[in-house]
Structure 1
């Protein structure tokens, strides 16, 4: 897992500005951000027009009682400017007639210890407990978000997820109360059902601020939008690696350079040609801290709000469930094979008289390598591309295992040849 803590944010972007109205355009999917002449003229007009249309639609009988909610995913490298953009949208959108806006900052909602040192008692067989803790925290946050969405959309009581921890639920409720979505009078985690006027009286956009560097992470949010027929869009902030590294070094608690470099190699940008579900996406250039007031952002939010995701047919959902089961089985088989490779490699190292003082370090390095390869397999992302291409394996699991065998040999040779 890659740590994402960033106590200090990147420089503030310029605020939204008003100007002469101009017709609102539907954004070109996955278009790269370029500030056109007069870009500040259009967003507010588009925002007001969408708000008026939303209010008129809410008055219609067929729309009565159903909240209009949008999920906007911000993604990109650490220090690319995501949180600055998120705060700007959170501050400006409610000032204009039409939309409420709330920010779900993963850095605030996922506890710092998730990315801290390994838990006491973790043996060499599992040297990387960060991955399960990291994934568990993200899963709990999604479960809390789903409970919130279901309550807002259906009007049902808001109750804690059965599988989420009490601290995770309390952090989520505190976030909602702090942004005016729940009454501050609600004090216990099970009673948070007193909606404020801001949460139900007008369209609500939830801005999810995280790295979301794998497409599968973003797809989990899309699945929530599809389940409850909500709006969904993505803003990907593309920033040169060196710029992110420089910004990160200015933070009070910077991430290691190698962490950001690793994420840069793994990050998956929105791919419209491959993924139809990513059609409501913009790739924004943030290296020069351009303003977020370009009309493409507002148009994207408006277009997504007007076109919520439709629920798929039941058989399609079943196919996806079957694929998930098959993928889990593939990862399990690869895990067992990698464990056998590690066991044999450790035996070879012992036979080659590798000092016992270094055997523990070797085991930790091999297990860490295994965790990385298995995570790549889970995400369908083969980072060891050169080896995989040379092996010409059509089966991803076979390719990952072969690549792991190759890397494990390189690792043990370092110890043998010392």
Structure 2
């Protein structure tokens, strides 16, 4: 596969990702790069998806992207194979020519020498003329006929080999032609079919969870391409204003949920997020910003990822990332529920002393709860290491349990106050 890079553009709706994608695409083309722009909003119909349906739609896009990468990778390998077959064909043609020359040399040189030797022998040894004549006849009509027959067979074998190679080339061409139609339409819209120039794949989506971006990273590693991330950051109020001007508006409550759930790239915590940049699009993206992003893309393309050789290490890394992600989201959920519980206590006119004690108890409850949740996550991973964890279901269950425990704490403190 020629040099390639998968670039994830993440950020809130209306942050300016699509506009930036077009700018980067234009710069990439000016450098002679081929481009493929994957815009999730255009591929996934805008409607009220159930959670499982929405996930399935995203999975379909990811599957098509993998097919495209596999197709591109396979096409390059087939091109190399076809080149090798052409060289083999040329070598066989040269061999055929050499054998023809050898055949000619045997006919015009060796036979002449043999005839001369036999004539000299006939003069010196008249009494063996009959035997030599028979020998001459045998050599001429038997051995040389056999030699010619062997060469003819060799010629035939070479012709068969040539035919087999031609059939192999035809089969390889058919394999290349048999591709995924959906991705093929995308390719026809965005790139030529030289498969020799650098390829830039821009993925335009919110990608607010780290786990969403990590799936793209895994694809980049599997197909040995470059990988980088660009967080398009914009003030939430500006995103809301821009969203109102769009033909397909995202509900404000959905925008707020995404803003709360956004997990920006974290270089210090995740080694796989090292090639990440943040661009502020609140006002506009400058030419200097674009040049910095192009340098990032160039660096990622020149430093492709390498697949892990040891699956056990990779699976353990995946489990740790999944566990960290779930605990991070659980911590945010706990903080939100604690804030709601404290607000409820204030509305019931709890004293400052009671609020102070309640805050301490709730924070201790959160610490203990997260420790137990981590044990549960690791336990589930050990029981079913090959099955993906249903993190959404786990978090929903954990939220109900923690909300119940916080209510018990509030009720207990208020009961002591009024007793």
Give TM class, smaller chain: 0.5 to 0.7
- Mapping of 1:19-418 within 5 angstroms? 66-94=1-29, 96-112=30-46, 115-116=47-48, 130-155=50-75, 157=175, 170-181=181-192, 196-197=193-194, 200-294=195-289, 295-314=291-310, 315-320=312-317, 377=326, 380-386=329-335, 387=338, 389-391=363-365, 392=367, 393=369, 394-396=371-373, 400=395, 401=397, 403-405=399-401, 407=403
Q: Tell me the distance in 1 between the aligned counterparts of 2:404 and 2:178.
A: 44
Give the structure 2 partner of residue 191 of structure 1.
none
1:268-297 CA deviation, whole Å, 9 max, x = no partner?
Answer: 000000000000000111101123553211
Q: Tell me the distance in 1 between the aligned counterparts of 2:22 and 2:9.
A: 11
Label 1:292 to 1:142 Cα distance change in 2 as closer, same or farther (>3 A).
farther
1:319-374 CA deviation, whole Å, 9 max, x = no partner?
Answer: 346669x97xxxxxxxxxxxxxxxxxxxxxxxxxxxxxxxxxxxxxxxxxxxxxxx
Structure 2 runs not aligned, ≥5 long: 79-174, 339-361, 377-393, 408-419
Q: Tell me the distance in 1 between the aligned counterparts of 2:333 and 2:260.
A: 11
Structure ranking higher in helix proportion: 2
Q: SS of 1:107's equivalent?
A: helix
Could you say which structure has the larger radius of gyration? 2
1:391-412 CA deviation, whole Å, 9 max, x = no partner?
Answer: 222133679545313547999x
Deviation at 1:131, TM superposition (A): 1.0
2:266·2:273 contact (CA, 8 Å) conserved in 1?
yes
Q: Tell me the distance in 1 between the aligned counterparts of 2:23 and 2:299.
A: 20
Q: Tell me the distance in 1 between the aligned counterparts of 2:329 and 2:177.
A: 35
1:70·1:206 contact (CA, 8 Å) conserved in 2?
yes
Q: Tell me the distance in 2 between the aligned counterparts of 1:158 and 1:390.
A: 61
1:234·1:281 contact (CA, 8 Å) conserved in 2?
yes
Q: SS of 1:248's equivalent?
A: helix
Give the structure 2 partner of residue 364 of structure 1.
none
Calculate the aligned-residue CA RMSD, in Å.
Answer: 3.1
Q: SS of 1:89's equivalent?
A: helix
Q: Tell me the distance in 2 between the aligned counterparts of 1:86 and 1:272.
A: 23
1:106-161 CA deviation, whole Å, 9 max, x = no partner?
Answer: 1112233xx336xxxxxxxxxxxx11111111111111111111121232646999
Q: SS of 1:78's equivalent?
A: coil
The structure showing larger relative contact order (alpha-carbon pairs under 8 Å, at least 6 residues apart) is: 2
Q: Tell me the distance in 2 between the aligned counterparts of 1:288 and 1:152.
A: 38
Label 1:242 to 1:276 Cα distance change in 2 as closer, same or farther (>3 A).
same
Deviation at 1:255, TM superposition (A): 1.4
Label 1:402 to 1:235 Cα distance change in 2 as closer, same or farther (>3 A).
closer
Structure 1 runs not aligned, ≥5 long: 1-65, 118-129, 162-168, 182-195, 328-375, 412-418
TM-score, with normalisation over the residues of structure 2? 0.56
Q: Tell me the distance in 2 between the aligned counterparts of 1:73 and 1:310.
A: 18
Label 1:304 to 1:245 Cα distance change in 2 as closer, same or farther (>3 A).
same
Question: How many equivalent residue pairs?
Answer: 260
Q: Tell me the distance in 1 between the aligned counterparts of 2:216 and 2:177.
A: 20
Deviation at 1:171, TM superposition (A): 4.1
Label 1:134 to 1:223 Cα distance change in 2 as closer, same or farther (>3 A).
same
Q: Tell me the distance in 1 between the aligned counterparts of 2:66 and 2:233.
A: 29
Q: Tell me the distance in 2 between the aligned counterparts of 1:158 and 1:378.
A: 45
TM-score, with normalisation over the residues of structure 1? 0.56
Q: SS of 1:71's equivalent?
A: strand
